[in-house]
Structure 1
């Protein structure tokens, strides 16, 4: 960590938003901390994220979802100080634009695009949550990230349906992050038996589940779908982006983990529950299961039902 803060109150800072939805959600506490120290924060994000950042309380600019580094350089030209979290077109565009101060974590994939790399502590030991990556960098900038206000769920002006439960059987991380369909059916029927009102999110597995459970309402979630998520009292989801977005608006989540690691990437908030059958090959984070998907098949319906409110 630097001996002295890298930013001061009154500074202007352009921040490239993380591209993945879950990373965007996990970066919010750090960005709030930076903003609270009196820094003028401007977000540069893909077009699909504009609504998310605006409702979260950050102004900024956007670029096309497939914008090139050259396109992005034209948007950010003239800025003086920028923060980068990850490699990609935004980092390349910031460098191409010649922004004088380009601050970011001292990681191999990003180092050549930075003028001020920040070494972050990575102590040996148990897995730490991914949010610490963002919080540690905010601390290096001079912010105080460990404040409850930075982690508060977003308050949406949406009526809450107390009995409404959203089921999200599909994962945007791939089918090996998804629980078997017949077990989703068992959970859906158990919730209906408790008098809950079910919504089932769109997707390949979601469509099949909605067909099998005609009492449920099939819904199309246009990501980030924050208003739809905020209207539900509970979200039961495969490990993926939706649970992080639901947690962002304060909806309680039950997340079914398979190849992922809950200690590293669970949604933020004490009210959320993760369910996982730990097997010898997980976590693996592989793009496709190389074995028999035992991390999903060994997770019983009873284990999920036990944690449902």
Structure 2
């Protein structure tokens, strides 16, 4: 008689970078429970970034956040929970009350997550969040999610983030490169100008255009890889830059295609947003322009990632919109970015910010 497989569901984070930073946890779960059936509950638009992942048996994509109505969101969560009944365990990666409520409504006998925001009673196993002097403090999200796996008895299987490229996305990338005249044999610099978090994370577009123009003048291929909804940002940069800069993103851009593009690029220049973590997964050198956020949430997998930031008294503020003069981002100059780009592209001894990495 065939043994019944253990069914484990993971409620994934709601932001691209956090999803990528959860991949070491997925890998650890797979290696510790190779016979388990792993289900992933994830926002529909984020699911393609995990395309081709061999550790996932089924995706449960949802559109909960497509509506602003709290009642409509609740109804969708409850419907999703009913579909997930029969799970043996649900791991809750986000810190929100609503994600724990979703886990509770599945009626899974094990529901594991962090004890935060008054949601502990919805979970059967509650981990305390990291604290210093009694206050919750930032912790690298890779480590944060791996600690949840530890609660299930899953030893680490490395902390490197990991993604995959699908053959269909690679073919789409080939066609896109041919359409825009990109030569795969030459260096390609990708620039991701947006940030889903909010405008406080966005480097001035005039600076991005200046860097793009100067890289093009040096004979490099330069392309924008912006997300759907960021077309206005891209249009302004394209207009300021002039001829030579191409747009590979915008409406219709699937994250599986972004995986394929960045897997073939030579350098990524971006804000502190999801694309930087995809770059880390494919071991692509990246320059990350960071202003309002704390490095302590992301200080792992920096082997080929250089963090460019300016020490200002108000950072990190974690505000979505800067209430003053955006000094944390405007003081990162184009000349500094260009200097780092040249080093990353041509200096074989160039490395990322390993000295900033969390050592646990």
Give the TM-score normalised by structure 1. 0.86
Distance 1:46 1:52 in 2: 11
Matches within 5 A, 1:51-70: 51-57=48-54, 58-66=56-64, 68-70=76-78
Q: Deviations over 1:189-228 (max 9, x none)?
A: 2212332101013422221111222211112252422122
Distance 1:199 1:297 in 2: 22
Q: 1:154 aligns with which of 163, 168, 178?
A: 163
Give the match for residue 30 of structure 1.
25
Matches within 5 A, 1:37-52: 37-39=32-34, 40=36, 41-52=38-49
Give the match for residue 211 of structure 1.
239
Q: Which moved more, 1:260-269 or 1:162-171?
A: 260-269
Q: Which moved more, 1:228-237 or 1:217-226?
A: 217-226
1:27 and 1:134 in contact (8 A); partners too: yes
Q: Does 1:75 align with 2:83?
A: yes
Distance 1:128 1:16 in 2: 19
Q: Deviations over 1:214-259 (max 9, x none)?
A: 2111122524221222221211012222222232333221110111
Distance 2:211 2:118 in 1: 42
What secondary structure does 1:48 align onto?
A: coil
1:162 and 1:232 in contact (8 A); partners too: no
- Structure-2 change in CA distance of 1:165 and 1:267 (3 Å): farther
Give the match for residue 301 of structure 2.
268
The count of residues paired between Structure 1 and Structure 2 equals 298
Distance 1:120 1:34 in 2: 20
2:47 and 2:61 in contact (8 A); partners too: no
Q: Does 1:144 align with 2:155?
A: yes
Unaligned runs of 5+ in 1: 1-9
Deviation at 1:52, TM superposition (A): 2.6
Unaligned runs of 5+ in 2: 65-72, 175-183, 345-360
Give the match for residue 347 of structure 2.
none
CA RMSD between the two structures: 2.5
Give the TM-score normalised by structure 2. 0.75
1:47 and 1:64 in contact (8 A); partners too: yes
Q: 2:122 aligns with which of 113, 116, 122?
A: 113
